[in-house]
Structure 1
Amino acid sequence: MKRPRRAVPRPPRPVTIRARILVGVLVLLAAGLIGNSIASALTLRAYLEHRAENALRDAGDRIHETLAQGPRTVRSGQIAALVAPVLGITVIGPDGEVAEQAGDGVPDEINDLTAGRLDQVVTVEDHPTVPDLIVRRIPTTGLTVITPTGVVQASAVILTVRTDVDRVTVTDFISRQSASVAVTLVAASVTALLILEFGLRPLKRMADAAGAIASGARQERLPTYGRRSETDRLAVAVNDAFDVQTRAEDNIRSFAADASHELRTPLSTISGWLDLYHQGGLTDPADLDRALERVDGEVGRMRLLVEELSLLARLDAGRPLESDHVDLRRLAADVVEDARVVAPDRTVRLHAPALVQVTGDGPRLQQILNNLIGNAIQHNPAGTTIDVSLHEAHGTAVVRVSDDGPGIAPQDLRRVFDRFWRAEASRSGARGGSGLGLSIVQAVVHAHHGTVEVTSPPGGGTTVTVALPLPSPQDRPPVPDGTL
């Protein structure tokens, strides 16, 4: 027996922005139109009811005023002129029976419905033989009515205003309003669709461009129209994000290529010496010692490169550094002293007249000084003077390393912080260095919330300026005795 196949539920259809906006606009418009129609219908109904009641009261007041002046004798045809614009008048004789009717007559049952309710406005609704109306029974002592059948001493006059006509008017008004609302909603839907089709066209083009970028067109960008509209601002922001992503991808590719290149050279050297050994070309102990020395040197280069890459990775990941009180003047003095020993053919001078203390990672700050002074020594000829100055300015500790060497070409200044980049045309590394020195300096300085800048005027010489924030006065350690 085969099991019944389960129906695979269809994925919900996506709700577009156009549909959401259209539904929202139509709901708001319908709510406004319907609310306005209901308010108008209620206002019209209340107006008609108040108008009828006011007509009854005004007519009754005129009758009272007329009879207050003395007995009156009128013909039946004149009563309508006396109480106009009331629609119906019923004259009640002295025996309490209907004697005469004028205007819009009503059934005789109105006499019984209003008996005993003098000068009261009575509303009659849903009566089986009497139409919907409002009535007022007015006592008329002293009023004589001449009718075609004789003379009647009227005991009361019943004034009536039919309200069923007003209700028909309100019903007709509601039906007309409903038709108007329907027509308006249809016209608004068509108009809104046209407006949305035109207004959302930039978003559709942006979506197409984004789809092209996702498909691999890395140079494609979202269109802009220079109108400073919301869509233009969105397109510019997304384009900037794509540009950043593209640069990041290019940097990753370049980084991978540069790292593999830097590792390939020592690996090739090590592999060459090992092949020579396996082929029996290093039988002489002196040659074997020289080979091991070269292999050890290349291993040291690789170890240094891996350590530098590891440090950059930690700094890029935002891992916190040590935070201790660091005496920059002592660090600078140690580094300058080491540089004088390593490069006796260079003049390295320290200018640090006062104690400068910051909060940070001591070994990393010392690495900054080592890299800056090491670069100045490595990339300048013998006899170059290197000046290291240290002072405080505007809440920052300023470290400046300058030299009077040939300087850096203007087109190269913007790339000095790029990883694995060196100003030499050759990438063989014959002059030493992996091209990560200034990159590490920049990363460490930024990790300490500082800034670094390299300047090289056309006349020669290079200056690297590092600014590190000083701790607040209450966070500074006490100055040792005898220290300026």
Structure 2
Amino acid sequence: MPRIRLRRLATIRARILTGVLLLLIVGLVGNSVASVFTLRSHLDERAESTLRDARDRIHRRLAEAPADIDGAQLATLAAPSIGVMVIDSEGHVTQQIAFGVPEPVNTVTAERPDQVLHITDHPGVPDLIALRIPTPGLTITVADRKIEASAIVLALRTDLDRVTVTDFISRQASIVGTTLVLAAVLGLAVLKYGLRPLGRMADAADALASGAREERLPVRGGHSETDRLAAAVNNAFDVQARAESNIRSFAADASHELRTPLATISGWLDLYHQGVLRDPAALDRAMERVDAEAGRMRALVEELSLLARLDAGRPLSSDRLDLSALAADVVDDARVVAPDRSITLDVPPSVQVVGDGPRLQQVLHNVVGNAIQHTAPGAPVRVSVTMTSDEALVSVSDAGPGMPAADLARVFDRFWRADASRNQAQGGSGLGLPIVQAVIHAHRGTVGIDSDPAAGTTVTVRLPRGPRAAPARQKSKQVPD
């Protein structure tokens, strides 16, 4: 049973409700305590002010002549709620006017004339405040009796005020208790309604965990915190789903690319085992084909290994390089491979960057090779290197047929080729541009493609010219072996 209670208190609803009730308790109790002190201070100040006003009226009367006053007039000057004690010339109590003032008050106030005194917890004296007013020369007439008064003691009972404060405290306690009960009930109802989206999110998450990959958290279309949370989680699920789909596609594409050379090698081996390849020339031809297909497999595995290392965020070399020299070497190689192709080079004398030389050279080889491979034999290719204050730019332009927008959006997808039949006659595995993108991103650069069916295609690589910061660590992607 205690465990169940602890678990309930550990819920968001219980914590919120407990926090709100604690704040409400602190606020209500603090307000009640402040109100009690304020009320008590107000009652005390009112009583003191009443006594001082009475004293001022008596002093004004004493300033008049003759210094003779009737007892009824004295009671009127003092006010009906104030008790009056008359002290004779010998310091004894001789007369009580209005309500009776206990005689011990005479002794308590004797040493402190003209001071308002709060008398509490005195034996035989109720709680009151008293003020002793010296009145030498004053004659008070009470029932035809003249009294030579040396002082007058004014007293105002405060025990009734204490009863008022006590009654106020009890009422405040009842109000606080009722408010807390109503707040708890209302808070439970509000939290039950307000946290209902979280319950639906939990149900949707359970469904996702059970295998319902298309399930998503409900979003009501507002700007509440739960809607923002649901949208963020849905986005994370979408990213995860795309990642899983990419992994499945990656595995399928890799197996497809490896299946073709394996089938070719297996076919030639079957012919050899069947004794068909008895002629030395035929056997040499078979070995050439097996070696070529093995080379394709080796190149594909190396490309996959490079992508896996780049995806894992493994650092590349950081050397000072001359990008103009790299571009010139790549163009020289391309002119040897395609001697009938017009390949022009436009570079400044030296463009210094920091990076991995072999990888950047591989990038340029891939881009220039694509331009040669996917354009007509007579189409010219132009390679240019420019620089700004903080970037170096390499542009490779061709005058080919260009690419439609649908293909342009997928050129960096792994294993994707515009030739949907995957015919290897055009060469390549569909990993050239993905490798370009991965290497350039590892150098903190960017790569973009602009294509116009009427003007050709331009690939632009941008690299920072300053020291290359270490690439951000990326989560390793699961790449099939």
Equivalent in the alignment of 2:257: 262
**Structure 2 residue 308 is matched with structure 1 residue 302:** no
- Out of 192, 204, 217, which is 1:197 matched to? 192
Structure 1 counterpart of 2:56, which letter?
D
Equivalent in the alignment of 1:106: 101
Provide the alpha-carbon RMSD of the alignment.
2.7
Displacement, 1:393?
Answer: 4.3
Structure 2 counterpart of 1:295, which letter?
V
Partner Cα distance (2:115, 2:333) in 1: 117
Structure 2 counterpart of 1:183, which letter?
T
**Structure 2 residue 121 is matched with structure 1 residue 122:** no
**Structure 2 residue 32 is matched with structure 1 residue 40:** no
Displacement, 1:258?
Answer: 0.7
Equivalent in the alignment of 2:387: 392
Equivalent in the alignment of 1:3: none
What runs of 5+ residues in structure 2 fail to find an aligned partner?
Answer: 468-481
Equivalent in the alignment of 2:243: 248
Structure 2 counterpart of 1:61, which letter?
D
Partner Cα distance (2:280, 2:254) in 1: 34
After superposition, the Cα gap between the structure-2 partners of 1:143 and 1:397, relative to the gap in structure 1 and judged at 3 Å, is closer
Partner Cα distance (1:8, 1:181) in 2: 29
Q: Which has the higher contact order (CA 8 A, sep 6+)?
A: 2
Equivalent in the alignment of 1:24: 19
- Within a 5 Å distance, the mapping from 1:70-149 to structure 2 comes to 70-148=65-143
- Within a 5 Å distance, the mapping from 1:207-226 to structure 2 comes to 207-226=202-221
After superposition, the Cα gap between the structure-2 partners of 1:329 and 1:141, relative to the gap in structure 1 and judged at 3 Å, is closer
Structure 1 counterpart of 2:266, which letter?
S
Displacement, 1:445?
Answer: 1.4
Partner Cα distance (2:15, 2:80) in 1: 55
Equivalent in the alignment of 1:315: 310
Displacement, 1:460?
Answer: 5.4
Displacement, 1:367?
Answer: 0.5
- Within a 5 Å distance, the mapping from 1:448-459 to structure 2 comes to 448-459=443-454
After superposition, the Cα gap between the structure-2 partners of 1:119 and 1:385, relative to the gap in structure 1 and judged at 3 Å, is closer
Displacement, 1:181?
Answer: 1.9
Displacement, 1:94?
Answer: 4.5
| Deviates most, 418-427 or 19-28 | 19-28
After superposition, the Cα gap between the structure-2 partners of 1:336 and 1:87, relative to the gap in structure 1 and judged at 3 Å, is same
Structure 1 counterpart of 2:148, which letter?
Q
Partner Cα distance (1:380, 1:146) in 2: 133
- Out of 270, 279, 296, which is 1:275 matched to? 270
TM-score by length of structure 2 reads 0.88
Displacement, 1:227?
Answer: 3.0
Equivalent in the alignment of 1:421: 416
Partner Cα distance (2:410, 2:18) in 1: 54
**Structure 2 residue 425 is matched with structure 1 residue 408:** no
- Out of 2, 7, 13, which is 2:7 matched to? 13
SS in 1 for 2:7: coil
After superposition, the Cα gap between the structure-2 partners of 1:141 and 1:369, relative to the gap in structure 1 and judged at 3 Å, is closer
Partner Cα distance (2:324, 2:130) in 1: 109
Cα-to-partner distance string for 1:148-173 (whole Å, 9 max, x where unaligned): 48443333322111111111111111
Cα-to-partner distance string for 1:332-369 (whole Å, 9 max, x where unaligned): 22222222222234333323354333221111111111
Cα-to-partner distance string for 1:343-402 (whole Å, 9 max, x where unaligned): 234333323354333221111111111111222222234333222222224643222222
Partner Cα distance (2:289, 2:144) in 1: 147
Structure 2 counterpart of 1:201, which letter?
R
Partner Cα distance (1:320, 1:244) in 2: 25
Partner Cα distance (2:144, 2:103) in 1: 18
**Structure 2 residue 274 is matched with structure 1 residue 292:** no
| Deviates most, 143-152 or 220-229 | 143-152
SS in 2 for 1:123: strand
**Structure 2 residue 345 is matched with structure 1 residue 377:** no
Asked whether the 8 Å contact 1:89–1:157 carries over to 2, the reply is: yes
User: How many residues are paired up?
Assistant: 466
What runs of 5+ residues in structure 1 fail to find an aligned partner?
Answer: 1-6, 473-484
- Within a 5 Å distance, the mapping from 1:436-447 to structure 2 comes to 436-447=431-442
Structure 2 counterpart of 1:311, which letter?
L
Structure 2 counterpart of 1:87, which letter?
I
SS in 2 for 1:13: helix
**Structure 2 residue 51 is matched with structure 1 residue 56:** yes
SS in 1 for 2:211: coil
Partner Cα distance (1:68, 1:153) in 2: 16
Asked whether the 8 Å contact 2:80–2:98 carries over to 1, the reply is: no
Runs of 4 or more, structure 1, over 6 Å off, are 7-11
| Deviates most, 190-199 or 323-332 | 190-199
After superposition, the Cα gap between the structure-2 partners of 1:420 and 1:104, relative to the gap in structure 1 and judged at 3 Å, is same
Partner Cα distance (2:193, 2:25) in 1: 23
| Deviates most, 91-100 or 43-52 | 91-100
Identity among equivalent pairs (%): 64
Partner Cα distance (2:134, 2:393) in 1: 109
- Out of 448, 459, 464, which is 1:464 matched to? 459
Equivalent in the alignment of 1:359: 354
SS in 2 for 1:220: coil
Partner Cα distance (2:87, 2:348) in 1: 124
Asked whether the 8 Å contact 1:119–1:139 carries over to 2, the reply is: yes
Equivalent in the alignment of 1:4: none
Equivalent in the alignment of 2:327: 332
SS in 1 for 2:284: helix
After superposition, the Cα gap between the structure-2 partners of 1:259 and 1:139, relative to the gap in structure 1 and judged at 3 Å, is same
Displacement, 1:96?
Answer: 4.0
After superposition, the Cα gap between the structure-2 partners of 1:114 and 1:358, relative to the gap in structure 1 and judged at 3 Å, is closer
Cα-to-partner distance string for 1:173-226 (whole Å, 9 max, x where unaligned): 111222222222223333333333333333333333333333322222333333
Partner Cα distance (2:126, 2:6) in 1: 57
After superposition, the Cα gap between the structure-2 partners of 1:397 and 1:92, relative to the gap in structure 1 and judged at 3 Å, is closer
